[in-house]
Chains A and B, each alone.
Chain A
Amino acid sequence: MPQQPASANGAALAVRAKPPRRPDVDVDVVVIGGGVNGLGVARDATKRGLKVVLFERNDLAFGASGNSSGMIHGGARYLTYDPHVTETSCRDSGHIQAIAPHLLFRIPFLMPVENTRKGRFLYPLMDAFFAAYDQYQPLKRGKPHARLTVAELRALEPGIAGDLTGGFSFDEWGIDGARLCVANAVDAMERGARIFVGTTVERIEAVQRGPHPPELHTPGHGYTVHHRDRVTGKADSIRAAVVVNATGAWAPITASLAGLPPERARVRPGKGIHVVYDRRLTNYAIFASTIDGRQIFLEPWENMTVLGTTDDDFYGDLDRVRATSEEVRYLVEGIARVFPSIHEARAIGTYAGVRPTLYAFGPSEDALSREHEIVDHAAHGAPGLYSMIGGKLASYRLFAEAMTDVLARVFDLGVPCSTHTSILPGGDAPCDPFALARRMGIDAVAARRLAYRHGSRAERIEERARERPREAVTVCPCEPVTEAEVRYVLNHELARSVADVSRRTRLGLGSCGGMRCAARCGQIVAEELELDPREGMRQALSFLERQALTRSAALGPDQARQEALTIASVRAEIGVGAEHDGDDL
């Protein structure tokens, strides 16, 4: 049974009932890919009046969108060789702050400069660099940079060590990429789009009844998109006038499903990993260099600290990307030069994603362009098929706007983009976490986290808990997550599994490794989605195993002890390895 947005109100249903613009298709546009770009297009196109369906093979924000550094940064890194990326990033960072204020948090950065001949030589150049970056800061409500002496640096962050000549501060914004994706998805659905997660596209078949070569506007030309629900195994197809391939690093695979050579939608997949620490180790993000001169950072992010990132060409399975011990050490060794106490900090996990960088043969990974481009496959004999290549979280909305502008021309809409002025769900009004905590009878931290994730929509979760008071209990004590929120994301945010719930709520990502909450979450998933209870348990176990893999790449003494306890606990309660054993256990 495909999932419908249960939150759709009458008006949205009316929009959905609206016919496509041509009688011979089911929808105007099929978007493939539930990352931030695909969801951005689905939202924009729906808003401009098109009938849209989106298919996602895994889950919303499963790939790069949900595994980024979690910043809507201005792309200072690209200023020297790609200033255009910096400007567009800053401009759109401002827009995103306006439409999703609840999801953004300020991250002030410190950049220590080593007291070496090179460091002293570079210091004034870096100052000039940041001065150039300051021009763009007002676009995103950022503060200008400051030059800091060594004493000032250490006063701001006493953990900074090493022989330094001084440093700089500058300003960026953090965001939860998965929540940004969900907000876009929910908005698109409420405006009439239909979104299917866990649904893979198996074939994109051109329908050509017109003259050859086909013209896009020829009635009869379009695509039949064959798709299959990966959970139920049920296959179906849908006819669309236009297909948008927004599958990030999966883009060449998707293009090949339409019979195109994969080179037509080529990316250069770049794997990036992050290490997660159990608390906010610092109040400032800290820049550092790796042994090979790459820039990495340690940033306080939500209620944890994130260390990132690597950039390596990736040749593996995109559905199973994970960090290795060796990659983790590369980052730790780099940051330890300016922040040596990182060795004593408790890493509680890692995550990894693959950037869909524009293809080029030759340059090193870091030198690759972060620009995005839209490939019109009409040139390759497939009119009405487009691939979105490249891009980054910070400029997703612009990329989606550019793509939807193309659709607007194709469908002759004459409606301009308004996604930068219309508020995303939850961003319309601030939510006071202390009042929320009092009303729900939960603690202030839980309420603060809830208000962060859902903005004003936290009130809908509060309403659930008011109707069913037992749902105010905590399921995941680390994050923390209430039962009402778990049930809400299953009903209104397209979650279909324990892992999906975790992606939307951060359930099970704390230091206990899901020991306390995975099984309980599995019960709730089974209940809400009317699955066999044993399916809920199986999901919990596969979530636990998968998370254990990501944690163990960064295991230290404290977390190893916790890990042993988690194994014992899971063994006692559920049984380890039981999900491999089929049904007769």
Chain B
Amino acid sequence: MGYPHPSHPRETPVLSKHFGEPEARTLKGWRDRGGYVALEKALKMDPAEIQTIVKDSGLRGRGGAGFPTGVKWSFMKPDGKQHYLCCNADESEPGTFKDREIMRWTPHALVEGVALGAYAIYASVAYIYIRGEFTEPLEQVRAAVKEAYAAGVIGENALGTGKTVHVHVHQGAGAYICGEETALMNSLEGRRGNPRIKPPFPAVAGLFGQPTTINNVETLAATPHILNNGAEWYKQFGRPDNPKSVGTKLFSVCGNVARPGNYEVPLGFNFGEFLWDLCGGAGEGREIKAVIPGGSSVPFLTAEECRTAVMDYEGFVAAGSMLGSGGVIVFDDRQDMVRQIARLCRFYAHESCAQCSQCREGTAWTTKILERIAAGDGVAQDFDTLLSIADNMTGKTICVLSDSCATPVVSGLKKFRHEFEAKLKASPNVVSFAGTATAAAAPRAAGPTV
């Protein structure tokens, strides 16, 4: 449901079914709603069997990358080593606030998914890394873990099955980059949150150097439903012509929109219907100008592109963007896109961990140029500079934060170039050599240095 708004009839609430019900936060309330049945079932199965079911279900990572969850789990073999499961609850992609709602309303759904996932990858220990600013989710999940331990649901001899699954909550301390999986592991180990070079991939050498799987909150919260209802049941959600994207997905909607909130729909939903019917379009008397459909790191869509886009991994790519984390940011016709893109880049400049030069320098440089253009001091040459910096920031760094900063710049310059041009200085800072002998040999006049 689109808490705080009531559920829309076109929604398919699976994960969000109990949002807004305070009783669902307790162990008893969660059990009354069918909780921990899947965990008990899972703990009596062979982990490889669980991996197969999740693989067959077609569930893909809901954190942004969309990697098939069952395939990720199947990298983990019973090799006698200490394995770890990390739950990425560092939700910090601007525009995304779905994991927050899962944790604050249904913390046991997460604890169950985490325990189930840990068992399925032969891990006896799981950590839930929650961002430091999430005070209420931290409180709820900590309470749920405590309750689950006290009732013997997790821990040694979980649910009386003789299996051991420990679940611990780890609080982050304010860093967007810790949502990157290898940065998260470094942070959990007590280090600065710098992403690691891959390979080795976490499945080989992850947390504390041991084989590790990292899954997003929404991904893990979906697995008990799959165990309970079967892979076929999960596959029914999605468009018939695209078996690659199935299941329900939470979309967080924010910005200049009539009814912001979380909405759960099957993948393959029409984005136009979603934006204008479910979310009510832009506010009273306003029109939608642009939308970022999958968290701040994905390209813009124009209102026209939104009308026909299909809400799944492939559909958003076909429309020219990405599904990402499902954070839908709406910009209405009042918004100055240059200023908004500058603000986005400032976010990345602030959050760069600074270990790669392209990112450390590129995010700050891009922000400075954009802020200068926004202030009316830009020259046409800035566009080439921005695109050149963006090119040097893409695909050349340890993680994709740098790419994420380049994305809105490139896509903004393509789709809203007229807004950039309208802000350029009326008389460019060019010295005229017209009519002099040196004119032909004159070097290109330099714009102001940045």
Answer yes or no: do A and B interact: no
